[in-house]
Amino acid sequence: MFQPSDSLPVSQLYERYRDFELVVDSRLVGQADTSLFFALAGERRDGHGFIAHLIGLGVRNFVVASAQYGQYLNEIREAEELVVNGSGPEPVNLVVVEYPMHVLQQLAAHHRRQFDIPVVAITGSNGKTIVKDWLVQLLSAEFGVCGSPRSYNSLIGVPLSVWQLKKSHEMAVFEVGISQPGDMDTLWGIIRPTCGVLTTIGTAHLSNFASVGELIQEKLRLFQGADWVLLPETLKSLTSAIESLPSPAKVYTWSGNGRTGLRVDNLHLELSFPELPDVYLDNARSAAAAARMLHLELRYLTAGVSRLLPLKNRLEQRTGRDGGPIINDSYSNDFSALAAALEFAENQDPFGCLTLILGTVQPIPGLATKLATLLKGRVDRLLLVGPANEKLRLDFPGKRLYPSVDALTRDLHTLSFHGETVLIKGASYEHFDQIADLLSRQLHRTTLEVNLAAIRQNLRLYRQQLPPSCKLVVMAKASAYGSGALPVAQLLQDAGVDYLAVAYPEEGKELRSGGITLPIMVLNAEAYSYPLLVDYRLEPVVHQPEQLRLATSLHLPVHIELDTGMGRLGFLPSEFRQLVIPPADEVGQAFVSLFTHLAASEDPGHDAFTRQQLAQFDHAYDDYLARAGSPVLRHALNTNGISRFPQAAYDMVRLGIGLYGIGDEGLKLHLQPVLTLTTTVTSITTRPAGATVGYGRLGRIGEESRIAVLSIGYADGLPRSAGGGRFAVRINGHLAPTIGAICMDMCMVDVTYLPEIQVGDHAIIFGPDHPVELLASAAKTIPYEILTGIGQRVHRIYLGE
Ligand SMILES: *Cc1c(COP(=O)(O)O)cnc(C)c1O
């Protein structure tokens, strides 16, 4: 039987565990016997609950919280008895401490002090990750550099990054984010940067801070004691604040415009940057200037800068030629990114059979063993691609090795992927896209790009509008407004929203089957579907007394909707008053929330009506409270409600379309566009005067015209009513109007005055520079209908963060 050991001084723990891997995520365990698992109690998952499982995998060392581990003691003991027999492997060690996270941080801080090398800390509101990645890329031409994986920039991510420091490193670059006052001192203590880079200052996370000033002050504390800090010239005004820090750093600035030239302090450098969008250019300048400050030789800098590419950072899902999903993920190629991609693929896998096509994984100590553990039991077939994998001694039964992408593509026609989900995971420079193309039912044709970073940003913005205690339900109905329920739900779960809502039980089932654990309310569940709700832990909205009775007998938690003027579902306030609501039972049945839905929250012309709805709702709630005595969650606001009637936020709000950066009059200017629908030009022909175009000969050609065919039709979601010149697509920055009727799978546009347009060009149906409202109004409808009408066969591409 194991002995919990009381907390040891950090130095002793360090001696004992310095060669161990620190793990906080049970899915990322590599070499089990040298892993030290920290049981962190998160908001949604308690790490202690994974200990028994990890013991089964061979993990023996755990840091646990004194207040929590007792609850799990029985299952831990049982797990231990199962594995520790007479001849037994190592016994289980529980290091019992007050706060495991603090110990994680202290160990990392201790580790940091063993190194006397330049350590760069990068912070700022935007661009941290890309500046960090580019700086590491530039410096690596000359130095051994340790960089944070992905965007490991939090109170947990930073210690894990710092722990990766090895003797062979000559420099380190760590990314730092803060969301709460006080975080920075902790992070500073772990990193102790010798130099700093500030990217931008914006208003993200501002709601948690008293003022912009406080946020900036907090960020700048990261730089105390550093030798120097680098900022863009535009933030020069922060100099005095930095110079008044306890032990002040020297401030340097950079400036530059366009694609050539960069001034760092007073030095002018002749550099030529690749063609990048403007925001990226500033990030590239920031990384280049920092590399220069770190004495990267000029020839490496010049060569490196010209090769900077926006990291593709995207995950694409399509239907494969053999029927199963093909997931192509070119997010960063480190081990943790692979683990995340695998989890995603497992969740999307309808067959329980997964093939992994794997390119180069960033080398780390013990990679082969870690990979073997990660893939075991999850991946059914493994195809390894590329020279780096030839040397990797990976133990995986039946694995196949291809020396290059070409070698695999030559062989693809001999392989079958029936009844399988395929995950393709290569570094962006490896060009695995052609594998995905060959395995797909169709090539890139029409795609809906979903920018997950923008969703996260919009979510933050809405949170800032709301009081901190106000809970957030996100509406994930209709495939999350067309953008794909699971990927969006996973992001929302990760971002800590409180609830999801769907319209029908099947939608909830799909989310559950995909690994979503958040509570899910179902707006419109008929009584016969209630057993399904029980199976999938879904919570019905009830509108009839019979539903309430049935829910009670099945111990289902319920939400009650009041109809205060929407005229759709819900009890009238008078009916609600008569309703007998059973008290909560021990098994789970409870009346969780009372809500109403606003009929016209976006329309000032109906504000009087909206206020009347809210007044009725208040009244009904007060009345309920007087009757029942114990409060329930109360909610009324949808997107426009949140921005236009913030005083009625109550305990919770229900965010829908605004998450996608659309449809919110109040916050329009601050939201980021999330969705881009593009298609391709498949043919261009010149038609003589008098010819007609398309069905019903509706398109008439007055003078000789160039007509382009696009691969999108009403089956893909381009409404037929957008034909006949009522709508224009955007091609290479120009508008091309539709001509004739939209067909089922194609449409025609007039490009007579756009001679430079060619077959293969992309046409934007809507996107950041071509708002969806244009299409919606041309088709005499609203953006909601456009989004949810995007066809199933349109590829969804998820841009990462
Ligand atoms: C769809 C829906 C919402 C969200 O509406 P948006 O206008 O998209 O924000 C909120 N509540 C209910 C009951 C809904 O059906």
Residue 203, pLDDT above cutoff 70:
no
Catalytic residues: 477, 695
* Ligand 1 atom nearest to CA at 561: 13
Measured in Å, residue 611 CA sits from the centre of ligand 1 at: 18
Count of C-beta atoms within a 10 Å radius of residue 302: 14
**Top-confidence residue, 596 or 733:** 596
- In this structure, which residue's CA is closest to atom 6 in ligand 1? 656
* Ligand 1 atom nearest to CA at 663: 7
Contacts within 8 Å (CB) and 24+ apart, 202-209: 202/125, 202/126, 203/125, 203/464, 204/125, 204/126, 204/457, 204/460, 205/125, 205/178, 205/179, 205/460, 206/464, 207/463, 207/464, 207/468, 208/179, 208/180, 208/181, 208/468, 209/181
Locate tokens 């940091």: which residue? 112
pLDDT of residue 44: 58
Residue 51, pLDDT above cutoff 80:
yes
Q: Which two tokens stand for residue 521?
A: 């309310």
Measured in Å, residue 654 CA sits from the centre of ligand 1 at: 6
- In this structure, which residue's CA is closest to atom 12 in ligand 1? 597
Separation of first and last alpha carbons in the chain: 45
**Cα separation, 637 vs 21, whole angstroms:** 46
Contact (CB, 8 A) for 559 and 599: no
Measured in Å, residue 643 CA sits from the centre of ligand 1 at: 14
* Ligand 1 atom nearest to CA at 638: 9
* Ligand 1 atom nearest to CA at 477: 1
Query: Beta strands 325-329 and 421-425: pairing type?
Result: parallel
Locate tokens 């590491």: which residue? 136
Measured in Å, residue 474 CA sits from the centre of ligand 1 at: 9
pLDDT of residue 88: 57
- The 10s digit of each residue's pLDDT in 338-372 is 887 888 788 778 888 999 999 988 887 788 988 99
Task: Annotate 355-377 with DSSP letters as a single string.
Answer: EEEE------TTHHHHHHHHHTT
- Helices 298-306, 278-293: axis angle to 10 degrees equals 160
Contact (CB, 8 A) for 414 and 293: no
Measured in Å, residue 774 CA sits from the centre of ligand 1 at: 22
pLDDT of residue 801: 57
**Cα separation, 386 vs 596, whole angstroms:** 57
Q: Coil, strand or helix: which one is 596?
A: strand
pLDDT of residue 1: 38
Lowest mean per-residue pLDDT among 68-77, 638-647, 770-779: 68-77
Q: Which amino acid belongs to residue 459?
A: L
Lowest mean per-residue pLDDT among 26-30, 51-55, 403-407, 585-589: 585-589
204-208, 614-618, 625-629: which is most confident: 614-618
* Ligand 1 atom nearest to CA at 654: 10
Ligand 1, pocket-test mutation among 465, 475, 643, 786, most atoms within 8 A of CB: 475
pLDDT of residue 206: 44
pLDDT of residue 218: 80
Q: Which two tokens stand for residue 268?
A: 């002018």
* Ligand 1 atom nearest to CA at 784: 8
Percent of the chain with pLDDT over 70: 95
The order of strands in the sheet holding 195-198 is 145-147, 171-175, 119-123, 195-198, 228-232, 250-255, 260-264, 267-272
Measured in Å, residue 511 CA sits from the centre of ligand 1 at: 18
**Cα separation, 442 vs 439, whole angstroms:** 9
pLDDT of residue 616: 97
Which residues line the pocket of ligand 1, CB cutoff 6 A? 475, 523, 597, 638-639, 654-658
Residue 734, pLDDT above cutoff 80:
yes
DSSP letter at 600 equals -
Ligand 1, pocket-test mutation among 471, 521, 638, most atoms within 8 A of CB: 638
Handedness of CA 217, 219, 223, 225 (dihedral sign): positive
Locate tokens 């310095």: which residue? 18
Residue 52, pLDDT above cutoff 60:
yes
pLDDT of residue 688: 96
Residues 6+ apart with CB under 8 A from 296: 138, 139, 141, 142, 143, 304
Percent of the chain with pLDDT over 90: 65
Residue 225, pLDDT above cutoff 90:
yes
- The 10s digit of each residue's pLDDT in 141-174 is 899 999 988 778 889 999 999 999 999 999 999 9
Measured in Å, residue 656 CA sits from the centre of ligand 1 at: 5
Residue 6, pLDDT above cutoff 60:
no
pLDDT of residue 238: 87
* Ligand 1 atom nearest to CA at 473: 10
Q: Coil, strand or helix: which one is 183?
A: helix
The arithmetic mean of pLDDT across residues 472-476, rounded, is: 97
pLDDT of residue 202: 64
In this prediction, residue 440 has a pLDDT band, given cuts at 50, 70 and 90, of confident
Measured in Å, residue 627 CA sits from the centre of ligand 1 at: 29
Task: Annotate 466-503 with DSSP letters as a single string.
Answer: S-TT-EEEEE-HHHHHTT-HHHHHHHHHHTT-SEEEES
Q: Which two tokens stand for residue 143?
A: 């130095």
Residue 208, pLDDT above cutoff 70:
no
- In this structure, which residue's CA is closest to atom 13 in ligand 1? 597
Count of C-beta atoms within a 10 Å radius of residue 34: 15
Measured in Å, residue 219 CA sits from the centre of ligand 1 at: 37
**Top-confidence residue, 542 or 315:** 542
Residue 586, pLDDT above cutoff 80:
no
Contacts within 8 Å (CB) and 24+ apart, 730-734: 730/763, 730/764, 730/767, 730/769, 730/770, 731/681, 731/757, 731/761, 731/762, 731/763, 731/764, 732/756, 732/757, 732/761, 733/769
Measured in Å, residue 600 CA sits from the centre of ligand 1 at: 11
Residue 596's beta-bridge partner residues?
A: 562
Ligand 1, pocket-test mutation among 541, 654, 655, most atoms within 8 A of CB: 654
pLDDT of residue 204: 46
The arithmetic mean of pLDDT across residues 543-563, rounded, is: 94
Residues 6+ apart with CB under 8 A from 502: 475, 476, 477, 485, 508, 511, 520, 521, 522, 523
199-213, 260-274, 321-335, 428-442: which is most confident: 260-274
Q: Coil, strand or helix: which one is 752?
A: coil
Contact (CB, 8 A) for 450 and 799: yes
Handedness of CA 452, 458, 464, 466 (dihedral sign): negative
DSSP letter at 621 equals H
- The 10s digit of each residue's pLDDT in 317-340 is 888 888 888 999 876 777 878 887
The arithmetic mean of pLDDT across residues 510-539, rounded, is: 92
Residue 563, pLDDT above cutoff 80:
yes
In this prediction, residue 668 has a pLDDT band, given cuts at 50, 70 and 90, of confident
Residue 2, pLDDT above cutoff 50:
no
Residue 312, pLDDT above cutoff 80:
no
The arithmetic mean of pLDDT across residues 407-434, rounded, is: 89
Measured in Å, residue 562 CA sits from the centre of ligand 1 at: 14
* Ligand 1 atom nearest to CA at 641: 9
* Ligand 1 atom nearest to CA at 657: 8
Residue 255 to residues 5, 62, 237, 284, 289, Cα–Cα distance (Å): 55, 49, 14, 11, 9
305-309, 412-416, 505-509: which is most confident: 505-509
Lowest mean per-residue pLDDT among 46-55, 337-346, 501-510, 591-600: 337-346
Residue 358's beta-bridge partner residues?
A: 384, 425
Rounded to whole angstroms, the maximal C-alpha distance in the chain is 93
Task: Annotate 667-727 with DSSP letters as a single string.
Answer: TGGGPPP-EEEEEEEEEEEEE-TT-EESGGG-EE-SS-EEEEEES--GGGT--GGGTTTT-
Measured in Å, residue 383 CA sits from the centre of ligand 1 at: 44
pLDDT of residue 765: 98
The chain-wide mean pLDDT, for the chain, equals 90
The arithmetic mean of pLDDT across residues 281-303, rounded, is: 95
338 CB-contact burial (10 Å; exposed 0-12 / middle 13-18 / buried 19+): buried
pLDDT of residue 87: 52
